[in-house]
């Protein structure tokens, strides 16, 4: 394992070394809340960060894995495309924002706007999430083992939100939906991947009521007829 001590190497030197690597395991010590640590990874490497990190840790992540043994500030794993990002502590606002794929695991709590505009990422939170979580979420799965704050899923599109605890309030167009067998299986797989012990049947599923779409699906025949004429 290659060890980088951020008391001795700069952030630029660290990230460049991680970008240049094609495989292997790396440990980062003394991160001291630095921003953008391990961002832009695009190879099958494993990175462990021992300590808290600042903004945008593991942003634009592809392939490989990043684990933070500590807390993370805003924008954890923003725009993640694939691979895995895990923190053992809690994250502040906008964790997993705009993520297109991959898995983000937050063992503690997540702040406001977790999963904002998520586009296919899977996010598992062991604790609670703050207000406006999954705002404008478009696809993917959000699993919360604790409680959710106000305005959950505001302006939601087609993402699935699975909450085990209570929800302070639902945002515009977010409604409770049936938890079908396929959703239970999805939950089972995500909980196993995150290493979290919970009964999938204990969760409530929330999704889009689809009332904010530009047209209603029942009007599609009229739309097509109008276009043909």
User: Is the predicted pLDDT of residue 220 greater than 60, yes or no?
Assistant: no
Domain spans of the chain, in order of start: 2-228
* 52, two tokens: 């808290």
Question: What CATH number does the domain located at 2-228 have?
Answer: 2.160.20.60
pLDDT in tens, 149-178: 999 999 999 999 999 999 999 999 999 999
d(CA 14, CA 6): 8
Q: Is the pLDDT assigned to residue 219 strictly greater than 90?
A: no
Predicted local confidence at residue 229, as pLDDT:
37
What is the rounded CA–CA span in Å between residue 135 and residue 171?
Answer: 8
Query: Residue 8: its pLDDT value, please?
Result: 97
With a pLDDT cut of 70, the percent of the chain lying above it is 93
Q: Hey, what are 81's tokens?
A: 């495309």
Q: Convert the pLDDT of each residue in 72-129 to its tens digit.
A: 999 999 999 999 999 999 999 999 999 999 999 999 999 999 999 999 999 999 999 9
- Measured CA to CA, the distance from residue 147 to residue 120 in angstroms comes to 22
């Amino acid at each position: 394992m290659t060890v980088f001590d951020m008391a001795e190497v700069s952030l630029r030197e660290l990230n460049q070394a991680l970008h240049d690597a094609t495989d292997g395991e790396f440990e980062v010590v003394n991160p001291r809340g630095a921003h953008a640590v391990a961002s832009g990874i695009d190879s099958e490497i494993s990175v462990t960060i021992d300590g808290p990190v600042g903004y945008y840790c593991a942003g634009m992540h592809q392939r490989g894995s990043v684990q933070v043994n500590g807390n993370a500030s805003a924008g954890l794993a923003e725009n993640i495309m694939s691979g895995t990002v895990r923190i053992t502590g809690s994250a502040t606002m906008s964790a997993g924002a705009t993520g297109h794929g991959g898995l983000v695991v937050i063992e503690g709590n997540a702040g406001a706007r977790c999963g904002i505009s998520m586009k296919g990422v899977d996010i598992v939170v062991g604790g609670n999430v703050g207000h406006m979580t999954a705002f404008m979420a478009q696809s993917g799965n959000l699993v919360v083992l604790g409680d959710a704050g106000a305005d959950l899923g505001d302006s939601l599109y087609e993402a699935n939100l699975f909450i085990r605890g209570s929800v302070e309030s639902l945002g515009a167009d977010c409604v409770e939906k049936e938890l079908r067998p396929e959703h239970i299986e999805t939950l089972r797989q995500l909980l196993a991947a995150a290493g979290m012990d919970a009964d999938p049947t204990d969760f409530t599923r929330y999704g889009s009521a689809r009332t904010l779409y530009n047209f209603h699906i029942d009007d599609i025949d009229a739309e097509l007829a109008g276009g043909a004429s």
